[in-house]
Amino acid sequence: MQSSVKNYKANPVQMTKVISLEKGKLPPQAIEFEEAILGALMIDTRAIDELLQVFNNSDVFYKDCNKHVFEAIKVLSETSQPIDLLTVSNQLKQKGCLDLAGGDFYLVGLTQKIASSAHIEIHARIVLQKYMKRKAIQVASDIIELAYDDDTDVFHLFDYMDVETAKVNEIIEKGRSEMTYADALNAAVERVQMLTDSDNCLTGVDTGFKKLNKHFGGWQPTDFIVVGARPGMGKTAFVTNTMLGAAKAGDAVGFISLEMSTEQLATRTIANESNFHLNQLTKTGFEKPEYFSGLLRKVNELKSLPIFIDDRPALTIGEIKRKARLYKRKHDIKLLIVDYIQLAGSDGSEDIRVRVGKISNGLKAIAKELGITVIGLAQLSREVEKTSHKRPALHHLKESGDIEQDADAVCFIYRPAYYGLEVDYEVIDDDCNTEFIVAKYRHGGVGTIGLHYDENKTKFTDNEVKEELKDSYSSDVADIPKAMPKEAFYSIEDVSDNDDDDDNPF
């Protein structure tokens, strides 16, 4: 047993950094609670398990001697040895840091400061909160110092902020409340009751499609959804639809657009929500000036939707996480869309497969951390087009197998007409031209769902829809008069909807 202790490598203790503060101010600290925690650990071996649910990093302690004591206790716990006054003292002697820890007299004093470990979790959370405040002061102080340095790159400065914040998050992640098994069972019963009492199959964020709402129950919180396709299939068009569906249902949406500009996406939403064709909005303009009234009305409607877009190129996963947290804090987003995964930037010169794997892992982590749905678009490899039917499958995901592993659902968009192939109407409905393939779904079945794609408006719908001209171009356009059989060959200008000929100036 002794040999295992000697060979076990304890984490080096980092001395508490001196923080520059205004005269008379001390860093946030709770020394009495630190001592109570260490005393409780030495009089009750079981207390360590409860403490490690809150934090396991010695940096949380303010006093350096307390850090040494905690490291010794942690080594004893991890090597399955008893924890008491004598074993802790012996461990500190073996590491040559008993004097740094205050000596045996200090250890004896710790055990006399508390009678039991009954409140160790509460004490630990107080100590953790003090550490978080100290860390905030330290990071802010460092940032101010770096900001005054002319040699500091401003983007590296913000990266430093993100890295330091992430380090604190890793420590405090341990302290988050966990749902017990009993609570989880109760939550499951409540969910079933809610589904039973409701006529609506939607339990998550509106997908923008009735068929997908029925299959998925809406996009579910903490899920990472991957939608893959070859270029030209309509990946961005699809997520534009689902973005609008969620926003119109009242759920805020964040959109990380690594490919298109915010203006391009906004133009697509206009085409999606009106009868204007995309060519009219981007190339030709309107044939009649009066169409502008309909355009302005539609734009005013869309302005009220809770949609937030960041179109900066090559954002790293760290920057995406930072933006997602900001969106969640300021706007309480329920859905985050990333278009697309392979375009995200790198923190270094790492292999593209490693980079894409990190991005995929990071997007799933965002979904769990923020309790939102994350949809990541993914490019497929050219191997798809070497097959006779051109239909995508899981092994066609480009660059990384981690995407398939991390995703709760992997879906593909497949339009046979794009390749000049016939639509298989044994698979989808007659009024559809697109296969939405659910190739993996962690919470349910897989299969193919039929959708219809309108190329003129880059818009997906559940089925082919014949939309009327009215209400598309002008907000106050009159009903188009119906011609009688005898008037069938008259021009539309000759057909009057008023029987009073006196009103005709001609």
> In whole angstroms, what is the distance from residue 16 CA to residue 110 CA?
20
Residue 215 tokens, joined: 């299959």
8 A C-beta contact, residue 41 and residue 111: no
Helix 85-94 to helix 103-111 angle, to the nearest 10 degrees? 150
> In whole angstroms, what is the distance from residue 440 CA to residue 438 CA?
6
Catalytic residues, which ones? 259
227 sits in which H/E element: strand 224-229
Residue 61 tokens, joined: 């302690």
Query: What tens-digit pLDDT sequence spans the chain (506 residues)?
Result: 444 444 555 666 666 665 555 555 788 999 999 999 999 999 988 888 888 888 888 889 999 999 999 999 999 988 888 999 999 999 999 989 899 999 999 999 999 888 888 889 899 999 999 998 998 888 888 889 989 988 888 877 877 877 777 777 666 665 555 667 787 788 888 878 877 776 666 788 999 999 999 899 899 999 999 999 988 898 999 999 999 999 999 999 999 999 889 999 998 988 888 888 888 888 888 888 778 888 888 889 899 999 999 998 888 888 888 888 889 888 999 999 998 888 887 766 677 788 888 889 889 989 998 899 999 998 888 888 888 888 998 888 866 677 888 899 999 999 998 888 999 888 898 899 999 999 999 988 899 999 999 888 888 999 876 554 444 444 443 333 444 444 433 343 443 444 444 443 33
DSSP string, 97-155: -TTTTTHHHHHHHHHTS-S-STTHHHHHHHHHHHHHHHHHHHHHHHHHHHHT-TT--HH
